[in-house]
Amino acid sequence: MITLDDLWRRGREFLGVQYPIIAGAMTWISDSSFVAKVSQAGAFACLAAGNMEPEKLKSEILRTKMLTSSPFAVNLITIAPNYLYHLDLACELAVPFIVFAGGYPRQAEINLTRQSGAKVMAFAPTEAMARRLIDNGVDALILEGSEAGGHIGHVSLTILIQQVLFQFREVPIFVAGGIASGRLILYFLLMGAAGVQLGTYFAVTEESRAHPRFKEALCRAQAKDAVATPQVGSELKVISVRALRNRGLEIFTDLQIELIQKRKRKEISHEEAQALVENFWVGALRRAVEEGDVETGSVMAGQSVGLVSKVRPLREALLSLISEVEIEWQWLQQKLGLS
């Protein structure tokens, strides 16, 4: 008969950690210290390269390697200005995993990563993209539903599960977006997921370096408060961000309107306007996470925010998930008459 260990096995072996639960990269939060703490607790962590200066990323990778002997990933934003430097660095420093986020890795970038010995993970927002990424050699996929915090796609996890998880068995698939309970994790494992990725849930742990006001805002918020940013018109490409509704979101809408008007008056190039849109988030997230500006900063969070209400030590938060998985497994076995 199938055991819970059987359900955990694929993800556990792929990631090389006790629990195939990924603390998703969170720019300004997922630094070397946080990664090491997640690893020490038995889960899998991602160092967020964000928009870091390459030298800073280098020292963060080296520091992570010093602090933990467990495998970890470096999360690279393919649209970040220093992306190609980041990629070279991560490969040179032989990090065990690279997660490509923000866009898709090109074939040459996947090849380079694999040659360095790192395993490649990438986000698959559609069935066609999942096929292409697998054919191009990625080792695992992440399915992130639009319930998630941070930059998001438009499709919910329920749909991605049917379009991608149920269609592809050849590589491990980790699911993300809206997860904050072990009960749900069990059902994803039963559906064929190799594991899960959580962001918001780990952002409110004691070890997260987010400002106390950031964590407090997350603890107070309800699921409906984590909203996706609107795109004004179609002139500028806006990758939606899910964050708590605040004045920062209004400022962002105003910024888009102002940039569109400037474009009409030909006062700014499309590239400049686009860069201002993206830079808005980098700066706004930093202000919220580091300075605790939860009014005009960007308090990025998933709808899972409605399921977190207190700041806890990371290990306690992780073990609570694991014990919920186990309790639900017992319950399910009884319900099915298997125990």
Binding site for ligand FMN (CB under 6 A): 24-27, 29, 48, 50, 75, 101, 144, 147-150, 176-179, 197-201, 203, 300-302, 304
For residue 229 the two structure tokens come to 């940013």
Tell me the residue nearest to ligand FMN as measured from the CB: 199
Cβ at position 144, least distance to ligand FMN in Å = 5
| Of residues 174 and 259, the one with the C-beta less far from ligand FMN | 174
Say how many C-beta atoms besides its own lie within 10 A of residue 51's C-beta: 21
Rounded to whole angstroms, how far apart are CA atoms 168 and 6? 19
Cβ at position 221, least distance to ligand FMN in Å = 12
Cβ at position 197, least distance to ligand FMN in Å = 5
Cβ at position 205, least distance to ligand FMN in Å = 13
| Of residues 57 and 300, the one with the C-beta less far from ligand FMN | 300
Cβ at position 242, least distance to ligand FMN in Å = 8
What percentage of the chain's residues is helix, strand, coil (to nearest 5)?
50, 15, 35
Q: Let me know: does 157 contact 302? Beta carbons within 8 Å.
A: no
For residue 21 the two structure tokens come to 């639960």
Rounded to whole angstroms, how far apart are CA atoms 83 and 53? 10
| Of residues 11 and 150, the one with the C-beta less far from ligand FMN | 150
| Of residues 26 and 164, the one with the C-beta less far from ligand FMN | 26
The residue among 192, 145, 148 whose CA lies nearest residue 170 is 192
Cβ at position 27, least distance to ligand FMN in Å = 4
| Of residues 181 and 274, the one with the C-beta less far from ligand FMN | 181
| Of residues 222 and 269, the one with the C-beta less far from ligand FMN | 222
Residue 277 belongs to what H/E stretch? helix 270-291
Cβ at position 10, least distance to ligand FMN in Å = 20
The residue among 82, 115, 83 whose CA lies nearest residue 100 is 83
Contacts of residue 236, defined as CB under 8 A and 6 or more positions apart, other chains included, come to 256, 259, 260, 263, 270, 273, 274, 277
End-to-end CA distance of the chain: 10
| Of residues 259 and 322, the one with the C-beta less far from ligand FMN | 322
